[in-house]
Amino acid sequence: MRHSSIKPAEAGHPYGGLGFAIKTILVFWLIYLVTVLVRAGLSGDFSGVVMNRAPTMLSGMVLTFGIYLVIHSVREGSGTRRRAIVATIASISAAILQGIAILIAAPLNSDTKAEYRVQAREGAVIVQKGREIKIERNSGEPLVFTLPKLNELGTNEKVRFAADAAVVWLFFFAAWSAVYIAGVSAGQVAVSRRRLAEAEAAEQAAQVRALRYQVNPHFLFNTLNSLSSLIMSGRHERAESMLMALSTFFRTSLSLDPAENVTLAEEIDLQRLYLEIEKARFPERLTVEIEVPDDVAKTRVPALILQPIVENAIKYGVSTTRANVTIKIHAERLFDGRVQIDIVNSMPEGCQVSSRPRPAGTGTGLTNVCQRLAAQFGSAADCRFGPIEGGFKVSLAVPSTVEEEDDD
């Protein structure tokens, strides 16, 4: 199972989105620049308006980045409310500084050549061009007034001008802060969800491994017990055949990753090896029938998922009767697209059952099979088992996921 990891930038400080901050700052000030350019195009003095606004844009971008640094300095783990309070204070401070910056940069501004004409109700025409205001009357000479520069105003007038500018810019900085905090919060939620998904995936993988390791000791114990019985009864050729099959089986099965999926065909091949081991023990009492159509052979299933089922068929079927027991493994595609695998052990009607006590089962093997399927496929899988007439049947249904073929 592939595991992904959190990038260092995402795993660090919660407000470490420098790239996101720069992008949003540029977008906001690009919007402001567009409004300035539109106004400059309508005024008739394009270069003059743009040049006069340039210091405002420069100071504003610096102050916006300063707000980001203030938010960034908030202690990790602080809530959204604390972030909003800090951002509000930073925005107010930035707005005041922007008003002061505009006042300081005022002497650098040149008088624009743009001319604005307004028709008054009394019939006079008011014309403003730069700092010059001219009132054209129906009779008499026009009245001309020249407004003072900002640096020529008194202290009270300067303070009032800076306060008015601060109020206007407060909304701009507050809007950027809201967008930035919302964006970072959304990013944090996405990272938290991804971490939760990775934790769930890791938990699922650990569960699959744990269940897989529960199966192996059970199989090993039963196999070694069968081999011991053959040796003690003097059936050395069968013991040798069983050892060879056992060697091949373990070489194949132990090379698999505990959480790896294999094709149904590969899983069936492993079970053929196991059944060969058991046929060496019960040559006259065990018949195997396997039917896996080609259209389902490449379906992916958990490794050794059939092992405890086949073991139970031997343990509770073949070992409890002196008659021939048939173990059938059949696979087919269902109408809903899933693949169903049936494992059935059956014996002839009226057969003689061994007088030896029937092994007491704990249900661990079949329970583990169902748990592995649930951990791997969730509700898409199905696991059913129970007695049937003359035997026992286990039915597994899994999603029809197939092995991807190489392009070579």
Higher model confidence: residue 358 or residue 98?
98
Domain range 235-398, CATH architecture: 2-Layer Sandwich (3.30)
The reported pLDDT for the residue numbered 218 is 57
Q: Are 298 and 403 in contact, with CB atoms under 8 Å apart?
A: yes
Per the listing, tokens 């308006």 go with 49
The reported pLDDT for the residue numbered 28 is 92
Span of 36-40, 300-304, 351-355 with lowest mean pLDDT: 351-355
Q: Is pLDDT of 112 > 90?
A: no
Tell me the mean pLDDT in the region 354-363. Answer: 49
Identify the bridge partners of residue 291 per DSSP, sorted by sequence position: 330
Please write the tens of the pLDDT for every residue from 91-105.
999 999 998 888 888
Band (pLDDT 50/70/90 cuts) for residue 15 is: very low
Q: Is pLDDT of 113 > 70?
A: no
Structure tokens at 233: 């009864």
Please write the tens of the pLDDT for every residue from 272-323.
888 887 787 677 888 999 999 999 999 999 888 888 888 888 888 877 777 8
Higher model confidence: residue 211 or residue 285?
285
- Break the chain down into helix, strand, coil percent, rounded to 5: 60, 15, 25
Phi-psi label, residue 114: left if phi above 0, alpha if psi -120 to 50, beta otherwise: beta
Tell me the mean pLDDT in the region 16-25. Answer: 82
DSSP state letter for 279 = H
By three-state DSSP, how is residue 54 classified? helix
- Cα–Cα distance measured from residue 297 to residue 332, given in angstroms and rounded to the nearest whole number: 10
Please write the tens of the pLDDT for every residue from 169-203.
999 999 999 998 888 888 878 877 887 777 676 66
| Average pLDDT taken over every residue of the chain | 78
The reported pLDDT for the residue numbered 176 is 92
Length of the chain in residues, anyone?
Answer: 408
Helix-helix angle 155-232:80-105, to 10 degrees: 140
Structure tokens at 255: 């090379």
Delimiting residues of CATH 3.30.565.10 domain(s) in the chain: 235-398
- Cα–Cα distance measured from residue 84 to residue 320, given in angstroms and rounded to the nearest whole number: 74
Per the listing, tokens 């005041």 go with 96
